[in-house]
Amino acid sequence: MKLQITQPQEVEVFYILPAIRSRMAAALKGQGVRQKDIAELLYVQESTISQYLSSKRAADVKFNDRVDKEIADAVRKIKTKRDMIRETQHILQMVRDENILCKIHESVGDVPKGCDACFCRHGGGK
């Protein structure tokens, strides 16, 4: 039975944002940034970063190569919290444009058949 997730924004909050943060955390850790500093930069608890890095959280969302590359590029640009917000918004827009949001929404939520209600460029459920 599918969850009662009906809004694309719920998918972003519960699935996509954590997946973006998880990949950002891994990339920042790979650059030698301390876990405490990563948590502060990404606005999450240090324990959340630990779960991201050990694949206990947000590991099941798959992005395409283009989005994964954009996340890696974004991490190199992030120096402040403002940078992080701007880069995250850019990646979220890519996820919408690439129709990834709609595909995840269909897999985890209660989406009407043939849904075309959301803001994805390609329309949800298509």
CA distance 84 to 91: 10
Tens-digit pLDDT profile for residues 4-62: 777 888 999 999 999 999 999 999 999 999 999 999 999 999 999 999 999 999 989 99
Tens-digit pLDDT profile for residues 90-102: 999 999 998 898 8
Exposure letters 69-80 (e unless 16+ CB within 10 A, then b): ebbeebbeebee
pLDDT number for residue 119: 58
pLDDT number for residue 124: 42
